[in-house]
A and B are shown apart, each in its own frame.
Chain A
Amino acid sequence: AQKITQTQPGMFVQEKEAVTLDCTYDTSDPSYGLFWYKQPSSGEMIFLIYQGSYDQQNATEGRYSLNFQKARKSANLVISASQLGDSAMYFCAMREGSGGSNYKLTFGKGTLLTVNP
């Protein structure tokens, strides 16, 4: 079973509007971390935001916020006031806290976001 599921292969949004990118995860570990990365066409993976499983509040970083719903095992990325430069591939990733492979980040397949002017 996939540990990270991103169901939206592609999304379109108008400039200056908000957009939500979906991510659901599967783990039985009570301790885990969730990450979002942005990959523009240049290829570099850019870290955006982190949410820990024990964090009481949703993470925010500038225009990025994470809508963390633990019971539903979802960690959706919200981008407010979209800009043309936000057009990129977005990946959700998870690290589980226990076990021998706790160094491993498991990535979803990504969502391609296109911001229209």
Chain B
Amino acid sequence: SQTIHQWPATLVQPVGSPLSLECTVEGTSNPNLYWYRQAAGRGLQLLFYSVGIGQISSEVPQNLSASRPQDRQFILSSKKLLLSDSGFYLCAWSVFIRVIQETQYFGPGTRLLVL
């Protein structure tokens, strides 16, 4: 069965510091991978999407970036964190069945607090 891991689970970082969040998926090949952010009490906002190694689509321009160095690894980064980067970051994976039926499965998330 497929599993998805995210770490760290919780992170407190000062403004201006760098960020690296990691997501890995097990038990599947060539998944689509996603990074979402959820602000407190809000719905999910798609940040990045990847259909393969090195292929990244950005949904929202910001000071975050994403990379996919391996098939089942997805990394979210920032060179300098802003206060507004605080939130709950969720990684998700999916496997194509047909477009409208492609179900995304989420990891446990990382809570980021920027002070």
Interfacial residues, chain A to chain B (CB-CB below 8 A): 31-33, 35, 37, 42-47, 50, 52-53, 91, 95-97, 102-105, 107-110
Contacts and interface: CB of A to CB of B under 8 A. Distances in A.
A33 B101 contact: yes
Contacts of A104: 46, 49, 59
B104 interface: yes
Interface of B: 32, 42-44, 46, 49, 51, 57, 59, 88, 90, 92, 99-109, 111
A27 B42 CA distance: 22
Contacts of A43: 88, 90, 108-109, 111
Nearest to A42: B108
Contacts of B100: 31-33, 52-53, 95-97, 102
A35 to B, nearest CB: 7
A103 B102 contact: yes
A109 B44 CA distance: 8
A-B CB proximity, top 5 nearest: A33-B100, A45-B106, A107-B43, A97-B100, A43-B109
Given A104-B59, A108-B43, 11 more contacts: A33-B100, A37-B106, A43-B90, A45-B44, A45-B92, A47-B104, A50-B103, A53-B100, A103-B57, A104-B49, A105-B46
A95 B109 contact: no
B90 A103 contact: no
Contact of B99 (A37, A47, A102, A107): A102
A112 to B, nearest CB: 9
B42 A109 contact: yes
Contacts of A50: 101, 103
